[in-house]
Amino acid sequence: MKRISSTHSGANKQLFSLNLIRAVAIIMVLLHHSLRDDLSEDFKYLLDLVLDADALLFFMISGALLMPVNGSWSEFIRRRAVKVFVPFVIWTLIYALSYYSDGWINDYTLAMQIRWSWLSFNFWPGWFIPTLISLYLIMPLLSPWIATATRKQFHYVLILWLLSSVLPYLQPIAGFDLRYTPLTLMLNAVPYAIIGYYLTYYRNRQPLLPSYVVQEPVDGLTMSEARRHARRIRLVVMYAMMIVAGVVLPFVLRDSFEQVDVRSISHEWTATPGVVLSIFYFSLLVRVKTLGVIVDKVVNTVSRYSFGIYLSHSLFLTVLFPRFIPEIMDSTPLLFIMVFASSFALTYLLRKIPFLGRYIG
């Protein structure tokens, strides 16, 4: 198997779907982080469920674009370091200095955040970057298997992943430690990347259904028509089950158990809602080839700036807006618009800086 990005040279329409997923994901991130108390508690929780897969889609895109790793492993790691690690460290320093200037941290904390900026994060959405980097480090080891894996083997990973996503709900009842279960190695970004690659590579071959799904011709249908009809029905049923597992059940059962905090657990990125909705969004969007010339350009632009937007948007949410325009902090729609416009504009300007722009946004 070849990497998705090089399967067909110059196939821009093929890659547009991944740009679309990236653009949708960053917009979901900004909306998710802009939710405020002007929304009712239950409606806000419902939106949380719908948007919880936002950052997780980036793990899947990384798997689709970067695996299997070809050529020099050291070259791969170096390129990822320049593209992701260096901007992460720079923005960690920027946040540290902004917190210090606002009086949130003292000299000692500033020094510690600067000293450990390469290892940890100090801004709200920063958890995602070290997790993504850890995924990059393991990609070369996974790639030989990715290059030769069959659909059944990918389904094996998918089944294990789905089973692991139930464990966070069982933990409060059974009292076990998630770190020490047979499925502990599935509670990370790796299955997101593997299934992201799989869904992209087999996007035109119904990857979520077994390849042996067939049906005898009925009602005057040919075999191929009957097969398509059967697959269509199964896909509708499967997508409906994803919505039920990812949104309906966590919402309906949100306050049903004293021993299990369904609201809190459902927001964990390794729990069932995040897993099934990531598959749901990715598998639907990955087959989109175009939305029209104008919309395609907008999507590609937002996608290109998505990483810079992700790194910078918390600066506006937590530091600049509360200090200079606090009146917008209680309005979800207004805050979302302002955060998107500001982080997009800042990323655009930073990327225009010669040489340094690539290391900032």
Segment 179-213, tens digit of pLDDT: 899 999 999 999 999 999 999 999 888 888 765 55
Measured CA to CA, the distance from residue 59 to residue 178 in angstroms comes to: 21
Is the model's pLDDT at 91 over the cut of 60? Answer: yes
Angle between helices 306-315 and 293-304 (to 10 degrees): 60
Q: In this model, does residue 29 exceed pLDDT 80?
A: yes
- Give the model confidence (pLDDT) of 320-333 as tens digits: 999 999 999 999 99
Tell me if 353 sits within 8 A of 360, measured CB to CB: yes
- For residues 133 and 137, give the distance between their C-alpha atoms in angstroms, rounded to a whole number: 6
Q: Between these two residues, 300 and 228, which has the higher pLDDT value? A: 300
* Per-residue DSSP letter, 319: I
pLDDT at 11 (0 to 100) = 42
Distance of CA 5 to the CA centre of its chain: 18
Mean local confidence (pLDDT), 21-49: 96
Q: From CA 84, how far away is CA 277, in angstroms rounded?
A: 25
Helix axes 86-101, 107-115, angle to 10 degrees: 180
- Mean pLDDT along residues 118-128: 88
pLDDT one-digit tens code per residue, 269-289: 999 999 999 999 999 999 999
Give this prediction's pTM.
Answer: 0.91
Mean pLDDT across 67-74: 90
Cα separation, 226 vs 230, in Å, equals 6
CA diameter of the chain: 79
**One-letter amino acid for residue 301 of the chain:** T
- Quote the pLDDT of residue 9: 35
**CB neighbours of residue 330 within 10 Å:** 11
| Mean predicted confidence (pLDDT) in 291-310 | 95
Give me 271's structure tokens: 């729990």
